[in-house]
Structure 1
């Protein structure tokens, strides 16, 4: 992923604790706007979606020490660019929220367990893109902060996902 000289790179780099090493095998096409998390239970990096020069990807890829593998999946979130995402280590699931659907935005919550994409919720935070998400292991919650509700409206709210539903957290 990433852009260099206006082009999307298809590079994959690994950090061994001391230096960066380029992986030379085949993988997904270069893209931006994708979701990517590390699945610590299965020891794989999961990549979903993205875009490049008008092409919208709705594919799921996994990467481990041997390389990239495209996962053939029926169904799933569809086009999602700049979605919020985090890995829920208790449930062993990548959680994806919102994102640009082109032409609009989504307020859906989806989960990837390594086999299937499952729609987990259609209600919760307002539809948005670029929300920041992280898993709070101590409290067993995924926390979502902010995001873009539509130009020029940015969200300044905090929500938590408990594995079943979203709850807005009022911050003082």
Structure 2
């Protein structure tokens, strides 16, 4: 039900759910004015979105009253917030984009990725942080690589990578790790 409901939402409605989720976490309820302020939209836009979300059973909404997420709405919003956090982390800490750029890109991409792609990204991030051949040293080398002015990989860089891999493989084999 949650995945199906999320697939039926426009990116705009997902953004409203995300805003309500955060406001509800901070203030226990969301008011239309607070939603409008948080999203930088008019109160009329908020009203239309709230009606649409209420029709889908994702929020409890009455005009001129507080708005809260239903259980189904909390599930969908929680998934959206989690996707956003994973993507922002990836953009900021792996690809080394600024916090603002990471935030903006996460907002755009979170609506376009399906569950399979998101699950694979989460697995990849876990792999990067735990695999002996990747981990923090690998990320540090990636950061250094990104700081280079040339874009193409030279034969000397490939040789450096091969030498590094051989050293890593030798160390793993000597320590009884993977080979």
TM-score range, shorter chain: under 0.3
Q: Tell which has more relative contact order, 1 or 2 (C-alpha 8 A, sep 6+).
A: 2
Question: What is the TM-score with the length of structure 2 in the denominator?
Answer: 0.22
Question: What is the TM-score with the length of structure 1 in the denominator?
Answer: 0.22
Highest Rg: 1 or 2?
2
Determine which structure has the larger helix proportion and give its number.
Answer: 2
